[in-house]
Amino acid sequence: MVFSSLCFLYYFLPLTAALYFFVSDRLKNAVLLLASIVFYAWGEPQYIFLLGISVLSGYGFGLLAEKYRGKKSAFRWCIISVAVSLSFLLYFKYADFLLANAAVLTGGRMPVLHAALPVGISFYTFQMISYTVDVYRGETAQKNFSNLAVYITMFPQLVAGPIVRYRDISGQLAVRMHTWDMAAGGIRRFVTGLSKKILLANQLAELCGAFRASQEKSVLFYWLYAVAFMLQIYFDFSGYSDMAIGLGRIFGFRFPENFRYPYVSASITEFWRRWHISLGAWFRDYVYIPLGGNRVGRARQFLNITIVWMLTGLWHGASWNFVVWGLLFAALLAAEKLWLLALLKKCRVLSHIYVLFSVLLSFIVFNACDMGQAFEDIAGLFGAGGIPFVSPEAFYCLRSFGIVILAAAIGATPAAGSILKKVSENRVAGRIVNALEPLMLLLLLLVITAYLVDGSFQPFLYFRF
């Protein structure tokens, strides 16, 4: 089950919310846990047991880490817990990748496991690790098993984040407030995210699909594809994050922000402070800083950056193009620390062009099935192979999707939000906006419903990871 489905919108969510607000505060977590199990089992029933084992192991190891805190055995239990969590991820996500590369290195033949990737395993594994590490560092272990299970399995952020750390939400698991304003804000945020997904990301996905199926490639078509995918992945993932944050607010939780208009960044350093914020913060706090961070010598610092970004790339997928994608950002971040950042500050316009172009190239690598296709797509941007500059199909797609691309480009900046904020600050205009907002949200939901009834299914991109 996905958020952008009729089943979720008109059956699962209303029934869950009705039951949640009907029961007493003491039973609200039980309702969330039951709903989350149903939500996950709807699409991945065979992996409910795996999810349960992950939660149970984290619960037990967390209690042991707290019990022996201050002793060497506490560290041992923490390491064992992390190893158990990672073992599930390694088997389902990386086993075939490792076996294939081992076969290449040895020249032999290795069995292929073909293990299907459980949806959300990368996200809930990182949350489980953050729990046991936070307990080892001094956070109070969760004694109530169902509360910990709610933290790990909560359906708003179970399958694609944001990655919510235990220390940020432990208090909310026990006590949280429910207000009409918070619920209304959650609904607004959810519908906004759903609009990003259905009205922008899905339409851009059709352009990317048309490009891949085309036999009439041209320089213009390559650029249209690159720009479309760059915008698609932003609206797809930020839309999901908006929906998750909105759902969290409806049920009384405050999840961390995951995107802050990354395409307005003036450096790659700034870009990664705005893009997938929860993942960047996780790697900073649980990998980069424990390795020494920037408290070590320059050479060691760059090694730490390389390790973190190679792991970030691998987290997104078991393929060499993801490794290259991560190492590309490692190189850019290292260059910015050495000299590039000072140069970028001298010219804001050039710095924005540099960021957009670098990110565009990186997402070409990210979305390629292998490095061969990545090189081909990048070469196509510059007319390599004698391809024409334009083609009839490229012109057709430009006419068909031009308005969507323009709307997405504007929507990826704070411009619309800034205008709305200024209008709302006016007393009369603000009252009109507040009065019309429920109607506009309802109209958006009706349009989205029409698309869902008539359109084809477009899964969230980050479900792959």
What are the backbone angles phi and psi of residue 71, rounded to the nearest 5°?
A: -110, 160
Looking at 114, 178, 276, 316, which residue is catalytic?
A: 316
Task: State the distance between the two ends of the chain, measured CA to CA, in whole angstroms.
Answer: 16
What burial letters (b/e) apply to 264-295, b meaning 16+ CB within 10 Å?
A: bbbbbbbbbebbbbbbbbbbebbebeeeebee
Round to whole Å and give the CA distance between 325 and 297: 25
> What single DSSP character describes residue 92?
I
Helical (H) or strand (E) element with 373: helix 371-381
Round to whole Å and give the CA distance between 355 and 362: 10
Concerning whether 352 is annotated as a catalytic residue, the answer is no
Residue 400: CB atoms within 10 A of its CB come to 13
Q: What Rg value do the Cα atoms of the chain yield, rounded?
A: 23
What are the backbone angles phi and psi of residue 319, rounded to the nearest 5°?
A: -155, 150
How big is the chain, counted in residues?
465
Q: How far is CA 222 from CA 201, 213, 367, 387, 398, in A?
A: 18, 12, 13, 10, 12
DSSP output for 5-68? SHHIIIIIHHHHHHHHHHS-HHHHHHHHHHHHHHHHHHH-GGGHHHHHHHHHHHHHHHHHHHHT
> What single DSSP character describes residue 93?
I
Contact by Cβ (8 Å): 69, 77: no
Which positions are annotated as active-site residues?
A: 316
